[in-house]
Structure 1
Amino acid sequence: MTCRRSNTSRQKSRARFQRLKEAHKMKVRQLEEDLTKAKEEKEDLQEKFESLLEMGTHKNLQRTIEGLEEEICSLLEYNMNLKSSKGHAKAVYKEAKEVLGFLNNVI
């Protein structure tokens, strides 16, 4: 009888060990699946982050371009004012020259 108990105990131990081994394998498989999903999610988030970063850069560039366009408009307006002032200065110079010429003739 001692042998039978021993064999039965051994069989029970082996069966328990097999169940634990299978449970461990299932946990390992589940962890591997979770790791794969996490890696895929990380890659997806990385792509989204890079896309958002590019969009942010694009927005910054767009703001810079808009600022430059405003500056160009301002410079063009300033240039027109200078041309207008230059035309006015030429007219005043011409008038002063005529007055001086007239005064020179009088003297």
Structure 2
Amino acid sequence: MTSKSANGWVSDAASWSSGYDTTPTVASDAYPEYGSSGGVGVPGTFTFTSKVKDVVSFTYSFNGGPEATVAAGADGTASVDWTPDSDGGTDLMVSATTGSGIQLAPYDYFFTVN
């Protein structure tokens, strides 16, 4: 895009854009992000919160395993319980899906099981 002044001068081409973070927020008291806690057989609850309106579900996967989907409440949140069967670094990948079927950007939540 360029602009033209009253005296005929034309500006250099430029553009601008803006972005919007659509990744969900993930939280857990038992397994905090980037923390080392819990242990094999110690259950934890993970809460997913959408930053976008009209989210109807969250799809998640632990360590690249099978995906599961949980319905979002009217407040745009959902919680899942998970009990680790092994120790070490753990990746929880979560994305939200809108009522129109659009899957939003995923969030990678990392923690370590003691």
TM over 0.5: no
| Relative contact order higher in (CA < 8 Å, ≥ 6 apart) | 2
Question: How does the TM-score come out when normalised to structure 1?
Answer: 0.18
Specify the structure having the higher radius of gyration (Cα): 1
Relative to total residues, which structure has the larger helix share, 1 or 2?
A: 1
Structure with greater strand percent: 2
- The normalised TM-score by structure 2 is 0.18
